[in-house]
Amino acid sequence: MKKTILKLALLLSIVFINAYVIIGCSTKELVNEEDDTTSEVVIEDTDFVPTDWTTETHSNDAEPNFDEVFEDMAVKRFDFVISKENWAAMLSNMTSLYGTFGRGGSNNFSDENPIFVPADVYYNGKQWYKVGVRFKGNSSLSSTWKSGIMKLAFKMDFDEYEDDYPQIKNQRFYGFKKLSLKNNFDDESMLREKVAADVFKNAGLAVSHTAFYTLYVDYGDGPTYFGLYTLVEEVDDTVIETQFTNGDGNLYQPDGTAASFASGTYNESQYEKQNNEDEADFSDVSRLLSVINASTRTSDAATWRSNLDAIFDTDKYLKYLAVNTIIQNWDTYGRMTHNYFLYNDPATNKLTWIPWDNNEALQTGKQGGALALNFSGLSASSWPLIGYIYNDAVYKAKYDAYLQEVIDGPFNTSTIQALYTTYAALIEPYATTEKSGYTFLESSSDFQLAISTLKTHASSRASAVSTYLK
């Protein structure tokens, strides 16, 4: 009953502030640079002095401070202060994209991103000024909204509004321009995004850094606890700048049929460029599709491998594949045509695989479940970057070797279970005190059960690898 009443209160507040926007606040029509849609957002308080600004904390002259922003053994805190008018605009925009808050129904995907609004962000006693803040996500965003849960994921862009507020030109957060706050959707442990990234990183693969943060949002009535989030480094910001020679190569976030790389699916619009957008050069992904499906795969396997190795970092990919299949991550390539990046590393001129969005990892999975270690049931022609590579004896031998390496190292059972214990103790006070209407937990016992399930899963994966490699 209490949960129902709180959801009703949230719904009524959204109806009220949507009406507030229509009835009469002063607004300005702005263009969302990410998707060229327009919405009314209030630009206010342009005459201010950024008194907390220092080179180390706010300037783009500072190198990214990973120790400060992505500390593993800490739960840090963000506070957002958003004007009542702009909060109303955000919720009104969400209603136009996804329907009435809390009204269930099937998930629908919007081609538009939610709007940015300027917000003041506070961290550790310091203020960041007029930061671009918006809701983010696809199916998770739609599902959370329709469920009547206000614990929505956010994206921050620290100089999104520099044209309106020149005093924040090139504003950064300890060297970071963009950051995502993931809401741990459908994850009662609130650990899967963090631990999956740790495993990829410990295996020596390029992946976003992650950390635990609580979020409080003040949209006119004082700070409201939105819950425990996972802060995630943006690939198109600092991942390619710091984990590769430089960030000048093409970065793609494929999504759609072409993201399968199946023969005949080539479509430039579905290899979404995250940089170098003005250069109409998609030759690297075009070559990858051609080479992976080339007839030499069956007529001259050595030549096929040589051609593939020349344009695609197959060794890193095979290690990624071993990690991803051991930890069981169904919401990515092999089941879904999304949730990965490809970066053309300038040092090698090879496309490198970067995992993304791992909140569905570390479980057997939904919608058909995670792929088996031997990829049984997978259509090789539909998913050639798994099927054709695994069916090659040379590549399969490398994949098998990486399975053993990963289960002995980054996903060693005792190591990973100890990590679960440590992280669970760290975040429990923040996870189990989330408020109804701002949580995916029904009770605090859900959290402990989820941790126990993760530990059992780790043991089962060690057994599965042992059986497969016999």
Contact 432, 450 (CB under 8 A): no
User: Can you tell me whether residue 29 is helix, strand or coil?
Assistant: strand
Neighbours of 219 (CB within 10 A): 21
pLDDT above 50 for 202: yes
Amino acid sitting at position 332: T
Confidence of residue 111 (pLDDT cuts 50, 70, 90): confident
Strands 75-81 and 251-254, by their bridges, are unpaired
Distances (CA, A) of 400 to 131, 138, 281, 358: 46, 34, 35, 23
Unique residue bearing structure tokens 């996500």: 137
Confidence of residue 16 (pLDDT cuts 50, 70, 90): very low
pLDDT above 80 for 39: no
Confidence of residue 37 (pLDDT cuts 50, 70, 90): very low
Confidence of residue 389 (pLDDT cuts 50, 70, 90): very high
Contact 227, 78 (CB under 8 A): no
pLDDT in tens, 279-317: 889 999 999 999 999 999 999 999 999 999 999 999 999
Confidence of residue 465 (pLDDT cuts 50, 70, 90): very high
d(CA 454, CA 416): 9
pTM score: 0.92
pLDDT for position 368 = 87
- Domain locations in the chain? 2-183+207-242, 245-470
pLDDT above 80 for 30: no
Confidence of residue 10 (pLDDT cuts 50, 70, 90): low
d(CA 424, CA 188): 11
pLDDT above 60 for 177: yes
pLDDT in tens, 426-464: 999 999 999 999 999 999 999 999 999 999 999 999 999
Q: Taken in order 203, 204, 207, 209, is the CA torsion positive or negative?
A: positive
pLDDT for position 256 = 96
Average pLDDT, the chain: 92
pLDDT above 90 for 83: yes
